[in-house]
Structure 1
C-alpha cells in the first residue's frame, strides 16, 4: 500500500510540474509567411462591416496564452460583427444576450466568470431602426455560450455546418446553444469550395469572394474562420477561438496545456489552424473573438448608421 501511495504521489507531482511548465513562454515555430496572392474577391459597393460589443467577462492573460501573466487581468470581449451586403446582411457571432445570467447557470461553476452585460445585438439593431428582414442569419464561429447567448432574441436562421451540428448534439459545452435555438431555423451550409488560405475547405457565402467561411475545426468539431474582403481592399479574418488574445498570433503563443485540454476537442488541430493564421497575419487583420483591441479598427454600429429597408429571403 505504501508503494501505491508513493506511485500516486509521483504521478501527481509529475502532472503538476507539466502543468506549471505549460504556462511558461514557448513560442510555436514560425510558419512561412503567406507569400502567394490572396484569393480573388469582388466585394460590391456599399458593403461594410460594423462591430456590436455586447459585454465582457474577466479572465487572465496567463490563462489565455503561454507566457501571459496571471496578474494581468483581461476583459474578454463578447462582440458581434454585422456584415452589410447588397444581397442581404449577416452577423458573425452574437455575444451576450439579455438572458445571459440564466445562460451562465447552465455552465459548470468553474466557467461562470464575472461578466459585464452591455447592450445585446437585438437591442442595438432595434435602436438604429434596423429592418431584420435584411438579415439572412447568424454565422457562428462555434457554438459556445459567449458566441451564441444573443440568439435568444434574434428570430433569424442560424448558419451551421454538419460537423458543428454533431458537436452541439453531444457536448456539454453547447448547453446554452441548445437552449437558445429551440424552435429556431437552422441554415445548413456545406464546405463546397476548395482549400482557402491553407484551410482545407470553404464556403463562399455570396459567390463573390467577399465572405468566405473556412473549415477550422479543433476548438469544436465544426469551428470556422470567417474571411471578409471589403471594397477598399481591407481583409479580415475572424478566427473565433483559435486563440483568445492577439498574443496568440503576435507571440505565436498557444493556450497553456491544461486550458488546451479543457477548451479544445482537438488541441493539435487548433495548433495547426493557429499556425495558418499566423502565416496570414501580415496580409490581413486577424481578429480573435475575445480580444477587444482587435476590433478597434472596425466602425461601431450606432443609431446614426444609415439603414435600408430592402428585404431579402433568409
Structure 2
C-alpha cells in the first residue's frame, strides 16, 4: 500500500514529545480529577424498547501484557493488564456485520508503517496477533459479513478490511470527512482500507438521546442496534449499543482502552494519549458518560481483552 506524505501523519516534534512525557509523569502522580459538575448535568434518557435482539461475539485474539499505567492514567507501571486487537461480530436478523475489523495480515508493512516512528513500538501488537480474516475462520464464522462498522477510523479499527475486499463500510459522516479529507489525520487511518472502490454507507447520529449519550442512530429501525455519540478520541467516534438476550452491550471503541478507565473515570496517559486523542477534553467528557452508563449496560472497550472475554 502507499505510504506517501498525504497519508502519513506528521511526526511529533521534540517539544511535543517532551510535553507528552511531562504530562505522563504529572498524570502518574496526580490523575485528572472527575468533573463533578459534568456528572451532575448528565441525565439518563432511557434505553429503547422493543423485542428484537442481536448476538455479539468477540473474535479470538492474542493478548499482550502491558503496564497498567500505559493505558490508564495514574494506574502505575508495576501492575499489568491485557490488551488486544479485538474485532466483534454482531448478528441481527437482517444482517451480520463486523465492529472494528482491527488487524490485517502483514500489518507492520501495510498499516503500522503509516504511523510516526515514535508511536510504532507502543502500538505494535504481538507477532502472532490474528488478522481479522483469520480470526473469523478460527471462530467458525462461515460467511463473509454483510458489512463493517468501525467505531472510528484509526488504523487498528479498519485495517482488517484490507483482507476483506468488497464488503461495504458504514461510517459516520463526520468520521468519513475527517479520515478521507485533505488534512492529515493525527495518527493515520488506513485510507486504502476505505477506498479502492469500496462502498461507504454514510450515516448521521440523527436520533434522540439514549441512556447517558446525547445523540443516536437506530441502525435497523427496530431498537436492537443503536449507535451513540462518543466523539473525542476522533471527531466522529461512536459506540455500538446492542440489545442481547442477556442484556445491553456497548462496544465503546477507543473512548476507553480499558474498563478500569470507565469505572474510575481515568483518561489515557498523556503519552501516547495526546497524540491519539483528537480532543482530550471531549474524550474525558465521554468517559464520564460511559461511567454513568456502566450501571445500565455492559461496557466493552475494544482493546480490553478481559472485558471482551465474556463475549467470546
Q: Which bin holds the TM-score, normalised by the shorter protein?
A: 0.7 to 0.9
| SS of structure 2 residue aligned to 1:105 | helix
What is the aligned counterpart of 2:254 among 241, 244, 250?
Answer: 241
Q: Is 1:110 aligned to residue 122 of structure 2?
A: no
Would you say the 8 A contact 1:53–1:118 is kept in 2? no
Cα deviations by residue, 1:181-216 (Å, 9 ceiling, x for unpaired)? 232111111212112223222110111111111122
Give the secondary-structure state (helix, strand or coil) at the position aligned to 1:160. Answer: strand
Following the alignment from structure 1 to structure 2, what is the Cα–Cα distance between the partners of residues 249 and 93? 19
Verify the 8 A CA contact 2:248 2:298 in the aligned structure 1: yes
Give the alignment partner of residue 306 of structure 2, picking from 276, 285, 293: 293
Say whether the 8 Å CA contact 1:137–1:159 is kept in structure 2.
yes
Match of 1:122 among 112, 128, 133: 133
Change beyond 3 A, Cα 1:85–1:140: same
Q: How many residues align?
A: 284
- TM, length-normalised to structure 2: 0.81
Structure 2 residue ranges without an equivalent (≥5): 1-16
Query: What is the CA–CA distance in structure 2 between the aligned matches of 1:283 and 1:56, rounded to whole Å?
Result: 28
Give 1:163 shift: 0.8
Q: Does residue 1:265 correspond to 2:273, yes or no? A: no
The 5-angstrom pairing of residues 124-273 of structure 1 reads: 124-126=135-137, 128=140, 130-132=142-144, 135-154=145-164, 155-168=166-179, 169=181, 170-173=183-186, 175-183=188-196, 184-232=198-246, 234-273=247-286
- 1:91 aligned counterpart, secondary structure: strand
* Match among 57, 73, 77 for residue 70 of structure 1: 77
- Cα 1:219/1:235, change in 2 over 3 Å: same
